[in-house]
Amino acid sequence: MMARQPQPIHLIAHDPDDLVVMSALLQDALVRHGDMTFDSKRRRFVLVLSRFRWEAGADARERVRAGLHFNHVLQVQHQGIALQMRDTVAELLAIRTSFDDAGSAEITLDFSGGGAIRLVAECLDAEMQDLGPSWQAHHAPDHPEAR
């Protein structure tokens, strides 16, 4: 029997629980620094990633291009991510969020090697969507248990 091909994913996040699901699906996604941009006029931070298709199972070893954007972004800060090195690739580990007393969101994208991008937004408003067919990945991400 042939394995069932997972459907393309399209998610919207407006609260921390939504973002937890999005973060899990984007764990180990690869992104070129040149595929991240902040459109200050539209107040939108956009990334195009190559995400590992965890929902297909680790044995499937598939990746798919996905778009991710955050709306209502007021400020972007980065640490340990040299955005000017446009062909450098970073591995996304997790997306976290917290809120201040006024309801503004602080969204942090954590990358391997200690790099991070911090977004300050009026609210949490994110959208992720697969952009095409998947392809066979050479390697599955490896997460050995901490000893």
pLDDT band for 32, please (50, 70, 90 cuts). very high
Q: Is residue 68 part of a domain?
A: yes
135 within some domain:
no
**pLDDT single digits (tens) 47-58:** 999 999 988 876
Residue 76, in any domain of the structure: yes
Overall domain count for the chain: 1
Q: What integer is the mean pLDDT of 15-29? A: 95
In a domain, 5, yes or no: no
pLDDT at residue 71, as a whole number: 98
Establish if 140 belongs to a structural domain.
Answer: no
Counting residues of the chain whose pLDDT is more than 90, the rounded percentage is: 65
Candidate from 61-70, 97-106, 112-121, 131-140 with smallest mean pLDDT: 131-140
Determine the 3-state secondary structure of 81 from DSSP: coil
CB neighbour list of residue 7: distance below 8 Å, 6 or more residues apart: none
CA distances from 107 to 74, 75, 77, 101, 141 (A): 11, 10, 10, 15, 24
Q: Do residues 48 and 31 touch, judged by C-beta distance below 8 A?
A: yes
For the chain, the average pLDDT equals 88
Supply the pTM of this predicted model: 0.87
The reply to whether 4 falls in a domain is no
